[in-house]
Amino acid sequence: MISDIPFLECAPLEDRGADTRGAVEASTRTARNCDLCIRIFGREYSETTIKEYYEAVEWRIQCLTYVKRVKRRDERLTRFIERKLKNRFKFHQFRGKKDLYERIDKDLRRLVLEILQEGLEARTKSKEEAHRLETEEQRRVTRVPLEEAKVPFKDEDHLSSIVAVTVALELGLRKELMGRGIKAERVSIGILLNTAKEFKLIDEREMTIIREILYIRNAAIHAGKIPDRRAVESALEETRRVLRKLESIDR
């Protein structure tokens, strides 16, 4: 039923065959690596299930919790529900399988929609922020110092850093071409790169690298995809090398 819900896949531990780890370790590690966790408590107390619960809590896994209405329950499980579960999670009490399945199906579909909506909103905000940063940087008429890209990088602000990197590259190339009397103020980035290569400001390898850096920038602006630290660090290093080359060129 869970696997029939869009974007979800349920892979029960019991269906995964042999494992070199013990049952408890395998269960807790599986709980840790899940994106969502469904917890169902009935009559019996299971030490493994309780450990899975604490593992999910520690790793901040999103959880849906269901407790069966029963006349008699293991006292240890009752204490756990009253002292631990009630204080941390809002859970649903169910009577039978039909009630449980319908509730899980409804809750999971709602949760998936919430996650998708949050993701879309986050991407929209990232795109808007990237546009704002790029516009502010490009308003400058002089070359953007690469040092300005290092500051946000050190603060783990990878979006601001990659925008500053690409603007520094673009303005650096435009300035060098304009110094040769070429009107490069308003040409597209594609024409800018081709012209820079034609005048031997950059070679084929550097052109490929710059295009990759621009692709990272575009992914942030148009898709809200924030680059990771490694990608930005590489972009900084390559941009530094290209800008040093431009500064050393004798016209």
Confidence of residue 185 (pLDDT cuts 50, 70, 90): confident
**What is the three-class DSSP state of 92?**
strand
Nearest to 215 by CA among 230, 203, 231, 201: 231
Contact 192, 171 (CB under 8 A): no
Domains in the chain (CATH in brackets) are 2-95 (no CATH), 125-248 (1.20.120)
Per mean pLDDT, which of 73-77, 109-113, 128-132 is the most reliable?
73-77
Give the residue-averaged pLDDT of 25-40. 82
Sheet holding 92-94, edge to edge: 36-41, 62-68, 92-94
The string of pLDDT tens digits covering residues 201-234 is 899 889 888 888 888 887 776 666 778 888 888 8
Per mean pLDDT, which of 35-44, 49-58, 128-137, 155-164 is the most reliable?
35-44
Mean per-residue pLDDT over the chain, rounded: 81
Contact 65, 92 (CB under 8 A): yes
Alpha-carbon 66 to chain mean position: 30
Q: Rounded CA gap, 7 and 166, in Å?
A: 35
Q: What is the pLDDT of residue 141?
A: 41
**What is the three-class DSSP state of 93?**
strand
